Amino acid sequence: MPNFTTILIIICLQTVITALLLWCGMKLVGEDGDIRALLLAALFAALVGMVPHIGWLLSIGVLLFLLSKWTTADIFPGGVLIVVIARALGLFLVLFLFTLF
């Protein structure tokens, strides 16, 4: 079982990476928002994502809701596109990093 420090480092990394990927998704979709709002949305999504079994689904819902409140994006289609693009970029990033090691 991971200790508290490991969990804290994972949440911090996940928050920063998710916020940067959300920012890239927002720029590709053409929406506008503050990076601080994206960091907070990513932090809340990372914390909710820690819930066993359904956390990943709840975190997507949290991201969509907070993006619609704190940015110019609506939940559909802008918010959904931003989250899908951010998750796809994250998947490509992980696959690229796995090929390096």
Tens digits of pLDDT across the chain (101 residues):
679 999 999 999 999 999 999 999 999 999 999 999 999 999 999 999 999 999 999 999 999 999 999 999 999 999 999 999 999 999 999 999 888 87
Structure tokens at 55: 């956390």
CA-only gyration radius of the chain, Å: 14
pTM of the entire structure?
0.89
DSSP code for 93: H
List the one residue out of 78, 73, 81, 46 whose CA is nearest residue 62: 46
